[in-house]
Amino acid sequence: MEAPIYATGIAAKLRSQWDRDDGLGQNHKAVKFLGQDYESLKANCAQRRGLFEDPLFPCAPSSLGFDELGPRSAKTSGVRWMRPTEVCRNPKFIMDGATRTDICQGGLGDCWLLAAIASLTLNDQLLHRVVPHGQSFDSGYVGIFHFQFWQFGEWVEVVIDDRLPVKEGKLLFVHSAEGTEFWSALIEKAYAKLNGCYEALSGGSTSEGFEDFTGGVTEMYDLPKAPQDLFSIVGRAIERGSLLGCSIDVSGRPPPQNTHKNKHTPSLRMYESHFCAWCCVQISSNKDMEAVTFKKLVKGHAYSVTGVNEVVYRGTPTKLVRIRNPWGEVEWTGSWSDKEWDSVDRNVRSKLQNRSEDGEFWMSFSDFLREFSRLEICNLTPDALQNCQLKKWSTSLYQGEWRRGSTAGGCRNFPATYWINPQFKVALEHPDTAGQSGCSFLVALMQKDRRKKRREGKDMETIGFAIYEVPKEFAGKSAVHLKRDYFLTHSSSARSELFINLREVSSRFSLPPGEYIIVPSTFEPQKEGDFVLRVFSEKPTDSDLQNQIYCQFKTKHTLSVCLSVCLSVCVSLSLSLSLSLSLSLSLSLSLSLSLSLSLSMLTDKDLKTDGFSKEACRSMINLMDPLPCPVSPLQTIFRQFDMDKSGTMNSYEMRRALDSAGIKLTNHLFQLIILRYTEEDLTVDFDNFVTCLVRLETMFKTFNTMDTKREKCISLNFMQVGRPL
C-alpha cells in the first residue's frame, strides 16, 4: 500500500505546482475550498428551484463548537438555524454600502475578527476581494453565498448556505445594528467554516484577520516603546489603505521571561490572551475582572484604528486618533470624547466629530499611547514605513514543516537538535540606497491550520526564528544546511524579538549585503506543525529552497561492492536449493543472504538489529556488483554516528550519517525516510540503516541511468515507475 500513496503524493505536489504556475491560488482564480464551486452549485439550485443546503458545514451542533459552544452547552440550547428571509421581512445583503456599523458583536469571543472586518470597510477595493460583487437576496437568490480568504500563500473561495444560528429570535453571533443587513453575519459563517466551527474563532489577534482578508503582512508596535514618528507611520498606513488594530493588555505587565534562556539566544515567551473581557470567557485573576477602565476602555479587547488627524485646539496643534469598538456601544469617556470639541473650528468639528453611539470615538494621540498597549498594522503590499516614500517590496514565500524526529528541533536552547530545523538561504545583494550599507527586509513566520486543531485540544505553538550569516566556505553554494557545530560557536545576526504563541511572528531588519540562513523553529523540540515563511525585501533577493538532491558516496567502494561478499557466501547454497526457475533462485538468494547477514551480526554485540527482511535482501541482490569487499565500511559509519553507543541511531544521528556517506536529501525526503525506517521510538537499527542506504543508491543509480541528457529531470510512463523507498 505504500507505493501508491507515495506516488500519488508526489503527483499531487507536481499537479499543485503546475496549477499555481498557471495562476491558481491568486485572488482572480481562487482555490475551491473542499472542492465546492459556487457557480455550478448556484446553477444547480436554480435549475431544481430549491435553496442551497451545505452538506459540508451542516446546521448541526458540530458547526457551532466543541466545548463552550458544544452540543450540551447552555449557550447553544434552543438554537435554531434560520435564513435571513425567515429572520426579517426584507433582508439585505449590503445596504447603502458596507459600513463599520454593520458589524456588532454577538455571543462569540471574536472581537479580533470583527475589528479586522470593520477596518476592511474603509477600502471598497479590499472589501470586494473578500466579498465578491453580485450577491443579494433579490433576483437569482437561491440561498447560496461565497467569500474569498487568503490562506497561507493562496486565496481560497468558501461557499456557504445562508442559514444562521438564531436564539430567542435574534442572531446568536455577529449582526448589523439595524438587524436587516446580513453580509457581516455571512462572512463570519464562511470564516467559521474555513476554520472548522464557530468556536474555533474565539480569541485571537486582529493581525490574523487582517492578513486573511488581504494577504498582507503585519507588524506590531509595543506602544510603551513606540518610535518617535509613529503618528506619521499610522497616517501613511491609513492613506495606503493598510488595516490597523489596537488592544490593551489585561495584566498591564510585559511578558514573562522564559526559564529556558541561554547565553546565545535570550528567549522570551508570551502567551496570547485567548479571551475578550466582555465575551463571557474566564479571566485569570480577580484583579483582572476589572476589565473596563474608569474611562470606558476594555482590556483584552480588540479595537480598530480608523483614522488620524491634527486639529488646532486653543491655538495649539493637537494630534488625534479615531478608534472603533466592534461592540458598537462602549466608548472612551476621556479627553476628546465631548467638551474639547467646542474649542475646535466649526467646519473641522462638523467634519471629524462623530456623535452617533456606534462605538467610534476620537482621543488624543498622547492618550492613545498611554492607554493602549499594542498597535498592529497590516501592510498590504507591504510598504516601508520608515519614510514618506511609498515603496513596494520584493517578496518570497516558502512552505515548510516541523516533524517529530526529523525537522522539529526546537529553539537555540536545545543545541543537540536545533540544527535539524528547516533552513532557508537568502542572499541580500543590494543596499536600500546608494551610500548606505544596510539591506532592509522583513521576515514573517506563520504556522498553519492551528485553529482547526482546537477540537483535538491543540492550539498555537510557540514559534520564532533566527538569522545566521552563511560561513565563507559555503558562500555561493546551494543546498547549504548548517550543522550542529556551527550553532555551538556562532551567534545569530538577527532574530525575532519573541518566541510567542501567535499565528505569526514578524520582524523588520537591516543587515549588510551577504548570504544568510533563516532558521524557523518552535520553542520546544518535537512539536509538529506546518508553516509558511515569507521574506519581504527592499531590493530583489536570491533565495535557495534547498531542493537539491544528490548522492556521492564518500566511502572507497559502493554499497553494492561492500555487500557482494555476502553474495559469494550465499550463491553455492542457493544454487543447490533451486536451479529450475529464476524466481526460485531469487527467493533462495534472498533467504540465504538474510541468513548470512544475520549470522554475521551475531558477533557485533554493539549493533542492534532484528534481522534483514527478505525484501531488503532482494534489493541488495538487485544492486550487487561482482567484486568482493568487506562489509566493515557500513559498520564503521554506523558506529561513528551512534554517538551514545546505544547500538541504534536516533533520527538526528541518522541525518549526519547520511551526510557523511555523501547523500544530500531535502527535508521532505528525509521525513519520509524517518517514517519508513525508524522503529516506534524513532531509532534506526543497523539492518534498517543498511537497507535505507541500499535503496537510496538503487534510486540514484536508476535515475542517473535514465537521465541520459543530464537534465536532472526524467519522464516516466506507468510501467517505468519503480518502487519507492
Catalytic residues: 111, 301, 325
**SS3 call for 670:** helix
158 CB neighbour count, 10 Å cutoff:
24
Name every residue whose Cβ is closer than 8 Å to that of residue 390 and which is 6 or more positions away in sequence: 240, 383
- Return the closest-CA partner of residue 63 out of 455, 457, 450, 448: 455
Q: Where are any strands of DSSP class E within 314-451?
A: 316-324, 360-364, 374-379, 394-402, 424-428, 439-447
CB atoms within 10 A of CB 660: 13
- Gap between the Cα atoms of 363 and 246, Å rounded: 13
696 is written with which cell numbers?
Answer: 537510496
| Amino acid at residue number 561 | V
* Angle between helical axes of 686-706 and 632-641 (0-180°, round to 10): 110
Q: Which residue has the cell 496570547?
A: 272
Task: Report d(CA 146, CA 130) in Å as an integer.
Answer: 9
Answer yes or no: are the C-beta atoms of 210 and 245 closer than 8 Å: yes
Residue 142: CB partners within 8 Å, gap ≥ 6? 42, 45, 46, 50, 51, 52
Question: At CB < 8 A and 24+ separation, what contacts does 283-289 make?
Answer: 283/250, 284/250, 284/251, 288/250, 288/251
CA distance 183 to 94: 6
What Rg, from alpha-carbon coordinates, does the chain have? Answer: 31
Residue 207's H or E segment, with its range, is helix 206-214
Alpha carbons 663 and 661: distance in angstroms, whole number: 6
Task: To the nearest 10°, report the CA torsion of 468, 450, 323, 236.
Answer: 40
- What the block records as the C-alpha cell of 113 is 475578527
CB 349 within 8 A of CB 338: no
Q: What is d(CA 608, CA 602) in angstroms, rounded to the nearest whole number?
A: 10
φ, ψ for residue 533 (rounded to 5)? -110, 120
Which of 135, 76, 118, 114 minimizes the C-alpha distance to 192? 114
Longest dimension (CA), the chain: 110
**CA distances, 86 to each of 48, 162, 166, 170, 176 (Å):** 21, 11, 10, 11, 16
